[in-house]
Amino acid sequence: MAGPQQREVLLVSLGSTAGLRLADEQLCDALRTAGADVRLVRAEPPPQLRTMALTDLAWARAARAATRRALGAAQSHRPAVIYSTTTAALLWPLPGAVRFDACSAANRPGRHGLWQRPLERRRLSAAPLLLPWSEGALEECPAGAGAADTADARALVVPVAVAPSGQPPRERDIAAVTYAANPLKKGLDRVLAAWQSLRAGRDSPQAAGEELLVAGTDAGELRRAGIELPGGEEGVRLLGALPTGEYRALLRRARVFVCAPRREDYGVAQLEALADGCMLVSTPAPGPYVALSLARALDPRLVGQDLGEGLRAALQEPLPGYAERAARALEPFSPGALARVVEGELLPRLLSGGDVTVS
């Protein structure tokens, strides 16, 4: 049995997106429940920079500084360290476990990852534990990093948990919701085009008053991305950033969650929508998009390149029992499943590490 000092864990968090903040807070809670003394070490957000390469460098330096401060104040001479994202680990002051939704090798192509990719490969090779959010994330690890699948003894999939946010109303009064933070990556332009096409082709009285609600972005971000909302078009409403409670309340009222990502590193928003009973309409996308296979199994008509046809099928010809089947499919992503992985596998592995040297 590990003593109190040996149970100290530092979780180095960038928290640069809502999904990352959720993942880090969940993991902290699960580790504490399992008996660990956890400190959430937050990197100071850098100013907005022009390129992805510079942005990653600024975040990596912030993570290094935050880790050094935390190690100086640590109760233990050898705390276990988890770096949340490969970016947080790039300039680490000491080796630690790396938890990640995706690697720079996959989501930083060309000049965007010129310096990150080779350094990431070395860090992943040196890490005592690799903690991908999904098996797909592990499969995208770069060649030479010493990991290709879950057969690697250092690898343990630690998913982000999702659960229903509350009791849905008897009737769902919102046609469709999409989440569009980083609107080009999320494919909001494709979603808007499919929605317009659907409305133009529908002559049912049911079309009157139906809306697509767009959360997570504002008009200024859309202008910078070169995306225009349909001028004077009824049926699309831009909501901007919403508190989590308000956003999840909308999901409980919505019949459909629609998206067309150009790449999906995990898809927390899609899993949350399934948990709250929405039908998921999506195009396929590269990346470890874990909800995609779930959506195909639940209703293959709703997954394909023809987003408008998927929307039409979901809104006009929904399959019965979709929400109940989705709830069963999400069991591997439940808070209980996360707790079992953390207590039974992650914490024992973290606490078996040796002494460390800070650089």
- Residue-wise pLDDT for 115-129, tens only, equals 999 999 999 999 999
pLDDT of 238 > 80? The answer is yes
Identify the weakest region by mean pLDDT among 63-67, 92-96, 201-205, 354-358: 354-358
Are 22 and 52 in contact by the 8 Å Cβ rule? The answer is: no
Pair (107, 154) in one structural domain: yes
CA distance 212 to 128: 46
Residue positions counted in the chain: 359
What span, in angstroms and rounded, lies between the C-alpha atoms of 85 and 265?
12
Q: Where in the sequence is the domain holding 115, given as residue range(s)?
A: 5-160+335-350
Q: What is the pLDDT of residue 206?
A: 52
**142 with 102, same domain?**
yes
Q: What is the mean pLDDT of the chain?
A: 90
Task: Answer whether residue 119 is part of any domain.
Answer: yes
End-to-end Cα spacing for the chain: 29
Give the mean pLDDT of 258-269: 96
pLDDT at 353: 64
Q: In the prediction, which pLDDT does 205 show? A: 40
Give percent of the chain above pLDDT 70: 90
pLDDT given for residue 207 in this prediction: 56
Would residue 355 count as lying in a domain?
Answer: no
Please state, in angstroms and rounded to a whole number, the distance separating the CA atoms of residues 20 and 28: 12
| One domain for residues 150 and 244 | no
What is the Cβ-side half-sphere exposure of residue 260, based on CA atoms within 13 angstroms?
17
Same domain? For 323 and 182 the reply is: yes
The Cα–Cα gap between 204 and 211 comes to 15
Q: What is the mean pLDDT of residues 328-356?
A: 89
**311 inside domain:** yes
Same domain, 70 and 149: yes
Is position 356 within any domain?
Answer: no
Nearest to 100 by CA among 167, 172, 155: 155
Assess whether 26 and 148 both reside in one domain.
yes
Measured in degrees and rounded to the nearest 5, phi and psi for residue 30 equal -65, -40
Instruction: Pick the more confident residue, 207 or 116.
Output: 116
How far, in Å, CA of 147 to CA of 144, rounded? 8
Q: Please give the pLDDT value at position 337.
A: 97
By mean pLDDT, which of 42-46, 196-200, 321-325 is the weakest? 196-200
Look at residue 202 in the predicted model and tell me its pLDDT: 58
Shared domain for 206 and 329, answered yes or no, is yes
In a domain, 168, yes or no: no
Tens digits of per-residue pLDDT, 94-123? Answer: 999 999 999 998 989 999 999 999 999 999
In terms of domains, do 326 and 339 share one?
A: no
pLDDT digits (tens, 9 = 90+) for 48-92: 888 999 999 999 999 999 999 999 887 667 789 999 999 999 999
Q: The tokens of 88 are what?
A: 């947080």
Q: Higher confidence at residue 241 or residue 148?
A: 241
Domain count within the chain? 2
pLDDT band per the 50, 70, 90 thresholds, residue 4: very low
Q: Is residue 189 part of a domain?
A: yes
Q: Measure the CA–CA gap between 61 and 146, rounded to whole angstroms.
A: 25
Tell me the torsion sign for CA atoms 333, 86, 141, 32. Answer: negative
The reply to whether 261 and 189 lie within a common domain is: yes
pLDDT beyond 90 at 359: no
Furthest CA-CA distance within the chain: 70
Is-contact 347 31, C-beta < 8 A? yes
Confidence of residue 201 (pLDDT cuts 50, 70, 90): confident
Top mean pLDDT of 51-65, 146-160, 199-213 is at 51-65
- Same domain for 318 and 339, yes or no, is no
Residue pair 248/271 in contact by the 8 Å Cβ criterion: no
Q: Is residue 165 part of a domain?
A: no
> Is the residue at 236 inside a domain?
yes
CA 145, 147, 152, 154: dihedral to nearest 10 degrees? Answer: 50
The CATH code of the domain that includes 248 is: 3.40.50.2000
Same domain, 155 and 80: yes
3-state helix/strand/coil string of the chain = CCCCHHHEEEEEECCCCHHHHHHHHHHHHHHHHCCCEEEEEECCCCCCCCCHHHHHHHHHHHHHHHHHHHHHCCCCCCCEEEEECHHHHCCCCCCCEEEECCCHHHHCCHHHHCCHHHHHHHHHHHCCCEEECCHHHHHCCCCCCCCCCCCCCCECCCCCCCCCCCCCCCCCCEEEEEECCCHHHHCHHHHHHHHHHHHHHCCCHHHCCCCEEEECCCHHHHHHHCCCCCCCCCCEEEEECCCHHHHHHHHHHEEEEEECCCCCCCCHHHHHHHHCCCEEEECCCCCCCHHHHHHHHHCHHHECCCHHHHHHHHHHCCCCCHHHHHHHHCHHHCHHHHHHHHHHHHHHHHCCCCCCCCC
Whether residue 339 sits in one domain with residue 310: no
